[in-house]
C-alpha cells in the first residue's frame, strides 16, 4: 500500500508552511528585565501568565501549519494504492493509438484536440517507469504502425514531434487490431493500450471489430470535452458543368451545404476562381438539413479554371471548403465516313450525324466533324482526328483496315453505325482484330417495333439523362438491327439493350483506344432515333466518352488517399505531379498514390531524356501542362455524434475498458487504482480552522 498523487504539482504548496512560522518568529515578545524592589508579587504573576500563553501559541502555530499541509495535499488529489505503485514501479509495454483523423483538428482554445492528445503521449512517456517500451499506431485510414517497439524515449519523442493531424477518416477497429498485434509481441508482462480520440462514432465500424478478442486493458481518453466550439456545417459535395449559349458558355457550380446545428443557420457561401472570390451568397439552412445552391459564371475565355467553394469558419475548418478543377470541353476532331452518300442531302447517311455533332457553327461547337466519302478516306490523315465514325460502310479500301488498327491501338476511337450497305462477311474477316464480335444477320421486325430497355443507367454516357429524357428514349421505335455472336476470348461490354434482349450498343477497349458499335442505323432508315431531341446529346456523349479526353485526366475528382491513375498514353514522356503543398513527384507506373492532402494537383509532361533523378526541386524547363485533378476530403468524418461506452464495450468484448477525460492539471496517463483521500483531507482542513478559531478565542 502506498500514497500517490494525481496532481503532484500542488505539493509545492507545502512551502506555505514557512509563512506562519516566520510570523511566529517575528512576533515573539521581546521581554526586557528591569529589577524593582518590592515587585515580587508582579514577577510571580508574570511567570504564571507566561506558562499559560506559551503552549497556546505553539499549538496555534501547529494548527496553522497542519491546515496548510492538509490543504496542499487535498489539492494534489491523494489516493492510497494497494498495489504498491505497480504502474509506476514496474516496466510496461504501452501502445498509444493516436487518432490523427481530420476531426481531431477541432479547435480547443488556441490549439487543436490533436495537439492535446500529442501532449498526453509526451507526458505519459516522460512519467513511465524505466525500461518501459512504447509503440505508436495512427488510427486514420489506413491504420498503420508509425513506431514499432522502442525503449528509447528520445527516438519515440522524435517520432511524436513529426506527427500532425491528417485529412483522412478514422479506422479505430483496424488501429486496435494493429495495437493487439504489437502487444502480442511485447517483452514486458504488463501491457496496456491508450486510445486517444474524440469518440466520433463515424470511425467505429462494427465489422472491423469482429476479429478483436485479446484481453488487454484499454484506456480510452476522450478529448472532445476540450473543444471550444462545435462543427456547425460543411460543404458536402460539388458538381461542375457547363452550358452552351448562342455565343458563349456558362460555368455552373452546384454545391450542397449541410447544417449540423439545431437552429437555423445563415452561412455565407463563396465561389473562388484562381484564388479570388467571384461570387458570394447568404444561405438560410434549416437545422440538420442540406441545402443546394448553384453558381453561374460566364466564361470569357475557353481556358481551364481552378477553384473552390467555401463557407464561413467554425471549430472545424477542414470541411468548410471543397475544390474543383474545370476544363472546358475541348474541341474533338471527328471524321464521319459516309458509306451511303446521296445527292439529296437529308437522305445521306451523315446528314443527321453532322447536325447532331455540330448544332452551332464550327467556331462555337466543341466537336468539329469532317465528312468524308469512302473514296476520300485514303487521302485523310487519321492522326488529325480523335474519333472516326463509319456510318453504313460496306467495305474499306484494300489494306486500309491496318491503318484503322494502328489508329485504335494508339488511342483513337472507332464508332460503327449499321445499315443496308454493311457487308457482314467483310467485317468478320477483315476487321476481326478490332471487333470483339461477329455480325450475324440483319433482324427486321415484322410487327410493331423494338425499343431501348435502359434499365441500368450507370454508364457514363447514360447517367447524365434525366428520368423524363430516358422515358422519351424508351418510346423510340426501332425497326431493324444486326444480331451478333461473341468471339472467343474477347471481352466487351453492353452499353444498352433492345427490348428483344439483343445488344443495342457494345464497346470494347483495344490497345489504348476504344471500339463502339451501334447495332442499328445512324439515320432514319432503320429507326426514328435521329429525329428525336435526345439523339443530339446521346451521340455527343458517346463521342466525348470515346475520345477519352474529357472524362479521364481532366475530370478525375478523388477523395483523400485514393490513387490517381493516368488513363492517357505517355510512354515516350515523363509525367510530373505538382501537389498543393508545392512538392513535385514523378509519376511512376501511371499511378500516383500520395494524395493525402486536399487541393488541386497539376500535371506536367516532358520528354524522358529531360529528367534522370526521382526527386525534383522545381519544374524542369520544357515541361508542358498536361491537366489537373482534384482531391477532397471524405465528408463522412464530419458527421456529428459520439459513440457510447456501452457500444465500445460491445465492440471490445473481453477487454477491460476505462473511458476518461484528460486531466485539467496534467496530461500524464494515470495507471493506478486506489482510495481517494482528497475529501477526508479537506474535512481535516476545516477541523484545523475550527480548532484555530477556538484557540484564538480562548487565549
CB atoms within 10 A of CB 346: 10
**Dmax (CA) of the chain:** 158
Q: What is the C-alpha to C-alpha distance for residues 603 and 578, in angstroms, rounded to an integer? A: 6
Q: Is 358 exposed, middle or buried (0-12, 13-18, 19+ CB in 10 A)?
A: middle
pTM: 0.61
Of 55, 66, 19, 68, the C-alpha closest to 695 is 55
Q: Would the CATH topology of 86-229+640-671 be identical to that of 332-547?
A: yes
Residue 54 is inside which H or E element, if any? Answer: helix 40-75
Q: What is the C-alpha to C-alpha distance for residues 658 and 664, in angstroms, rounded to an integer? A: 18
CB atoms within 10 A of CB 625: 12
pLDDT the model gives residue 640: 87
Q: What is the C-alpha to C-alpha distance for residues 490 and 508, in angstroms, rounded to an integer? A: 9
Q: What is the C-alpha to C-alpha distance for residues 74 and 163, in angstroms, rounded to an integer? A: 37
Q: How far are the Cα atoms of 185, 473, 532 from residue 468, in angstroms, in the given order?
A: 62, 9, 13
CA distance between the termini of the chain:
42
Q: With beta carbons less than 8 A apart as the criterion, state whether 91 and 188 touch.
A: yes
What strands lie across the sheet with 367-373, from one edge to the other?
367-373, 332-338, 387-391, 413-418, 513-521, 503-510, 493-497
Low pLDDT (below 70) residues in the chain: 1-2, 28-55, 80-89, 242-248, 329-330, 343-346, 360-365, 548-556, 567-573, 607-615, 663-674, 699
| pLDDT 10s digits, 343-358 | 666 678 888 888 888 8
CB atoms within 10 A of CB 151: 15
pLDDT the model gives residue 59: 79
pLDDT the model gives residue 333: 87
Of 436, 432, 428, 520, the C-alpha closest to 478 is 520
CATH of domain 557-636: 2.60.40
At 341 the three-state DSSP class reads coil
Long-range (24+ apart) CB contacts under 8 A made by 339-344 are 339/374, 339/390, 339/391, 339/392, 339/393, 339/394, 339/419, 339/421, 339/422, 340/391, 340/392, 340/419, 340/420, 340/421, 341/373
pLDDT the model gives residue 87: 45
Q: What is the C-alpha to C-alpha distance for residues 610 and 691, in angstroms, rounded to an integer? A: 90
Q: How far are the Cα atoms of 101, 156, 205, 548, 562 from residue 172, in angstroms, in the given order?
A: 10, 22, 8, 39, 19
Residue 514 is inside which H or E element, if any? Answer: strand 513-521
Q: What is the C-alpha to C-alpha distance for residues 114 and 188, in angstroms, rounded to an integer? A: 28
Q: What is the C-alpha to C-alpha distance for residues 181 and 631, in angstroms, rounded to an integer? A: 33
Of 326, 180, 363, 333, the C-alpha closest to 250 is 326
Report the CATH fold assignment for 86-229+640-671.
Rossmann fold (3.40.50)
What does residue 297 show for φ and ψ, rounded to 5 degrees?
Answer: -135, 125
Q: Return all residues near 85 (Cβ < 8 A) that are at least 6 apart.
A: 2, 4, 672
pLDDT the model gives residue 669: 44
Q: With beta carbons less than 8 A apart as the criterion, state whether 628 and 554 touch.
A: yes
Taking CA 283 as the corner, what is the angle to CA 282 and CA 285, rounded to the nearest 5 degrees? 155
Q: With beta carbons less than 8 A apart as the criterion, state whether 249 and 242 touch.
A: yes
Q: What is the C-alpha to C-alpha distance for residues 38 and 42, in angstroms, rounded to an integer? A: 9
| Residue that the C-alpha cell 429524357 belongs to | 469
Taking CA 432 as the corner, what is the angle to CA 427 and CA 435, rounded to the nearest 5 degrees? 80
What does residue 272 show for φ and ψ, rounded to 5 degrees?
Answer: -110, 135
Q: What is the C-alpha to C-alpha distance for residues 296 and 21, in angstroms, rounded to an integer? A: 80
Q: With beta carbons less than 8 A apart as the criterion, state whether 529 and 476 touch.
A: yes
Q: Is 354 exposed, middle or buried (0-12, 13-18, 19+ CB in 10 A)?
A: middle
Taking CA 631 as the corner, what is the angle to CA 628 and CA 635, rounded to the nearest 5 degrees? 155
pLDDT the model gives residue 81: 63
Q: What is the C-alpha to C-alpha distance for residues 62 and 250, in angstroms, rounded to an integer? A: 87
Q: What is the C-alpha to C-alpha distance for residues 604 and 602, in angstroms, rounded to an integer? A: 7
Q: What is the C-alpha to C-alpha distance for residues 9 and 98, in angstroms, rounded to an integer? A: 27
What is the DSSP secondary structure assignment for residue 508, as one 8-state letter? E
CATH of domain 332-547: 3.40.50.880
Taking CA 323 as the corner, what is the angle to CA 321 and CA 324, rounded to the nearest 5 degrees? 145
| Residue that the C-alpha cell 463521342 belongs to | 543
At 226 the three-state DSSP class reads helix
Taking CA 198 as the corner, what is the angle to CA 197 and CA 203, rounded to the nearest 5 degrees? 80
Q: What is the C-alpha to C-alpha distance for residues 618 and 578, in angstroms, rounded to an integer? A: 9
pLDDT the model gives residue 168: 96
Q: Which set of grid coordinates corresponds to residue 364?
A: 462555337
Q: Where would I find the beta strands (DSSP E) of 69-168?
A: 78-81, 92-98, 107-108, 111-112, 133-138, 144-150
Query: Domain residues of the chain, as ranges?
Result: 2-82+677-698, 86-229+640-671, 238-303, 332-547, 557-636
Q: Which set of grid coordinates corresponds to residue 129?
A: 517507469
pLDDT the model gives residue 20: 82
Question: Which H, E and C letters describe 141-159, residue by residue?
Answer: CCCEEEEEEECCHHHHHHH
Q: What is the C-alpha to C-alpha distance for residues 519 and 502, in angstroms, rounded to an integer? A: 9
Q: How far are the Cα atoms of 436, 462, 500, 615 from residue 491, in angstroms, in the given order?
A: 7, 21, 22, 40
Amino acid at each position: 500500500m502506498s500514497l500517490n498523487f494525481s496532481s503532484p504539482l500542488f505539493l509545492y504548496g507545502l512551502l506555505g508552511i514557512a509563512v506562519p512560522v516566520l510570523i511566529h518568529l517575528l512576533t515573539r515578545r521581546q521581554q526586557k528585565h528591569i529589577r524593582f524592589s518590592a515587585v515580587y508579587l508582579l514577577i510571580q504573576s508574570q511567570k504564571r501568565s507566561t506558562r499559560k500563553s506559551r503552549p497556546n501559541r505553539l499549538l496555534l502555530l501547529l494548527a496553522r501549519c497542519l491546515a496548510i499541509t492538509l490543504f496542499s495535499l487535498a489539492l494534489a488529489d491523494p489516493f492510497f494504492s494497494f498495489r504498491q505503485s505497480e504502474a509506476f514501479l514496474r516496466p510496461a509495454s504501452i501502445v498509444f493509438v493516436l487518432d490523427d483523423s481530420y476531426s481531431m483538428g477541432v479547435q480547443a482554445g488556441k490549439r487543436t484536440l490533436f495537439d492535446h492528445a500529442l501532449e498526453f503521449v509526451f507526458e505519459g512517456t516522460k512519467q513511465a517507469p524505466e525500461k518501459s517500451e512504447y509503440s505508436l499506431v495512427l488510427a486514420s485510414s489506413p491504420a498503420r504502425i508509425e513506431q514499432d517497439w522502442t525503449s528509447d524515449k528520445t527516438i519515440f519523442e522524435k517520432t511524436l514531434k513529426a506527427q500532425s493531424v491528417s485529412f483522412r477518416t478514422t479506422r479505430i477497429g483496424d488501429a486496435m487490431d494493429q495495437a493487439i498485434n504489437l502487444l502480442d509481441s511485447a517483452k514486458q508482462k504488463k501491457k496496456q493500450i491508450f486510445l486517444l480520440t474524440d469518440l466520433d462514432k463515424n470511425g467505429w465500424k462494427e465489422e472491423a471489430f469482429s476479429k478483436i478478442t485479446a484481453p488487454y486493458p484499454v484506456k480510452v481518453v476522450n478529448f472532445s470535452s476540450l473543444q471550444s466550439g462545435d462543427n456547425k456545417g460543411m460543404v458536402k459535395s460539388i458538381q461542375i458543368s457547363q452550358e452552351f449559349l448562342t455565343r458563349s458558355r456558362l460555368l455552373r457550380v452546384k454545391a450542397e451545404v449541410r447544417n449540423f446545428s439545431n437552429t437555423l443557420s445563415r452561412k455565407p457561401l463563396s465561389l473562388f476562381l484562381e484564388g479570388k472570390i467571384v461570387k458570394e451568397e447568404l444561405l438560410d439552412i434549416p437545422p440538420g438539413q442540406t441545402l443546394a445552391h448553384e453558381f453561374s459564371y460566364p466564361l470569357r475565355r475557353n481556358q481551364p479554371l481552378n477553384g473552390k467553394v467555401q463557407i464561413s469558419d467554425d471549430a472545424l475548418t477542414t470541411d468548410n471548403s471543397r475544390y474543383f478543377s474545370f476544363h472546358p470541353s475541348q474541341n474533338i476532331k471527328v471524321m464521319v465516313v459516309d458509306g451511303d452518300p446521296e445527292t439529296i442531302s437529308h437522305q445521306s447517311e451523315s446528314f443527321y450525324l453532322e447536325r447532331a455533332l455540330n448544332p452551332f457553327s464550327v467556331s462555337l461547337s466543341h466537336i468539329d466533324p469532317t465528312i468524308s466519302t469512302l473514296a476520300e478516306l485514303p487521302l485523310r490523315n487519321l492522326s488529325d482526328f480523335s474519333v472516326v465514325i463509319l456510318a453504313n460502310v460496306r467495305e474499306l479500301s484494300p489494306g486500309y483496315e491496318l491503318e484503322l488498327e494502328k489508329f485504335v491501338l494508339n488511342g483513337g476511337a472507332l464508332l460503327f453505325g449499321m445499315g443496308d450497305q454493311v457487308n457482314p462477311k467483310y467485317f468478320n474477316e477483315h476487321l476481326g482484330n478490332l471487333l470483339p464480335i461477329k455480325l450475324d444477320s440483319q433482324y427486321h421486325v415484322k410487327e410493331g417495333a423494338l425499343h431501348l430497355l435502359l434499365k441500368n443507367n450507370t454508364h457514363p454516357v447514360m447517367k447524365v439523362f434525366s428520368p423524363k429524357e430516358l422515358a422519351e428514349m424508351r418510346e423510340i421505335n426501332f425497326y431493324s438491327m444486326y444480331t451478333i455472336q461473341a468471339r472467343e476470348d474477347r471481352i466487351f461490354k453492353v452499353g444498352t439493350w433492345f427490348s428483344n434482349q439483343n445488344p443495342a450498343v457494345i464497346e470494347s477497349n483495344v490497345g489504348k483506344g476504344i471500339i463502339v458499335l451501334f447495332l442499328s442505323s445512324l439515320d432514319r432508315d432503320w429507326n426514328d432515333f435521329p429525329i428525336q431531341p435526345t439523339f443530339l446529346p446521346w451521340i455527343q456523349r458517346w463521342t466525348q466518352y470515346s475520345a477519352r479526353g474529357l472524362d479521364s485526366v481532366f475530370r478525375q475528382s478523388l477523395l483523400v488517399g485514393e490513387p490517381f491513375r493516368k488513363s492517357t498514353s505517355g510512354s515516350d514522356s515523363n509525367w510530373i505531379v505538382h501537389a498543393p503543398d508545392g512538392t513535385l513527384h514523378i509519376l511512376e507506373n501511371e499511378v500516383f498514390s500520395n494524395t493525402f492532402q486536399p487541393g488541386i494537383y497539376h500535371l506536367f509532361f516532358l520528354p524522358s531524356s529531360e529528367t534522370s533523378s526521382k526527386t525534383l526541386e522545381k519544374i524542369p524547363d520544357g515541361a508542358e501542362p498536361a491537366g489537373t485533378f482534384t482531391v477532397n476530403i471524405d465528408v463522412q468524418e464530419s458527421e456529428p455524434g459520439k459513440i457510447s461506452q456501452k457500444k465500445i464495450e460491445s465492440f471490445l468484448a473481453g477487454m477491460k475498458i476505462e473511458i476518461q477525460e484528460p486531466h485539467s492539471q496534467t496530461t500524464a496517463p494515470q495507471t493506478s487504482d486506489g482510495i481517494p483521500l482528497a475529501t477526508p483531507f479537506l474535512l481535516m482542513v476545516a477541523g484545523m480552522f475550527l480548532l484555530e478559531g477556538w484557540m484564538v478565542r480562548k487565549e
